[in-house]
């Protein structure tokens, strides 16, 4: 029985590793595709900001948090410099700055950005605050920052409030309940 279980575990581990490597390859391919677009786009445009925000997500997912912060900052600087940026895009830019800083273990610097994203979303009544904005994500990211700062009561409150909006958007027992 031990031999069967051991070989089964080894097969499972190999399959998991193969899936992970395939996922990383997809991220690398997406990074190359997005990066190739940058020279063709006006560096002060919302499109350039969007490409950098997409790259931020890739860098964060592949453990390159400092690169993620750099890309989030490019997107943030562009969107905050526009005359009238779409409010949701601006709130997402604040959240992306906060999230990337949190991923780079700079949680204290993340909180002001996340506070602003949450403030922008909460300036709207329900259901707009959660259908127009990613307030559940903003709150989860805020909770992560509070968790890193060992403010566990505040983190728990953030996750509980995020769960309220997650249930409204995704239903009870959504995939976010693992938070």
pLDDT at 11: 61
The CATH code of the domain at 14-85 is: 1.25.40
Count CA atoms within 13 Å of residue 106 on its CB side: 14
pLDDT in tens, 46-68: 899 999 999 999 998 888 899 99
Query: Considering the entire predicted model, what is its pTM?
Result: 0.81
23-36, pLDDT tens digit by residue? 778 888 888 888 88
Structural contact between residues 102 and 144, judged by C-beta atoms closer than 8 angstroms: yes
Each residue's pLDDT tens digit, 86-111: 899 999 999 999 999 999 999 999 99
What letter would DSSP give residue 132?
Answer: T
Alpha helices in 82-151 (DSSP H): 87-103, 107-122, 128-131, 135-148
Instruction: Report the alpha-carbon distance of residue 68 to residue 91 in Å, rounded.
Output: 17
Average pLDDT over residues 36-50: 91
């Amino acid at each position: 029985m031990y031999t069967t279980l051991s070989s089964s575990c080894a097969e499972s581990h190999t399959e998991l590793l193969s899936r992970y490597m395939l996922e990383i390859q997809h991220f690398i391919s997406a990074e190359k595709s997005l990066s190739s677009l940058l020279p063709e786009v006006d560096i002060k445009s919302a499109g350039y900001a969007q490409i950098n925000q997409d790259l931020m997500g890739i860098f964060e997912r592949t453990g390159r948090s400092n690169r993620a912060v750099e890309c989030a900052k490019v997107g943030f600087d562009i969107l905050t410099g526009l005359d009238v940026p779409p409010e949701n895009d601006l709130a997402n830019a604040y959240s992306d700055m906060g999230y990337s800083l949190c991923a780079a273990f700079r949680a204290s610097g993340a909180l002001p950005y996340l506070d602003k994203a949450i403030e922008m979303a909460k300036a709207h009544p329900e259901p707009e605050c959660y259908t127009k904005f990613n307030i559940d994500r903003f709150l989860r990211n805020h909770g992560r920052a509070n968790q890193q700062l060992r403010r566990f009561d505040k983190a728990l409150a953030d996750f509980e409030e995020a769960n309220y909006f997650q249930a409204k958007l995704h239903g009870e027992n959504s995939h976010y309940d693992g938070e």
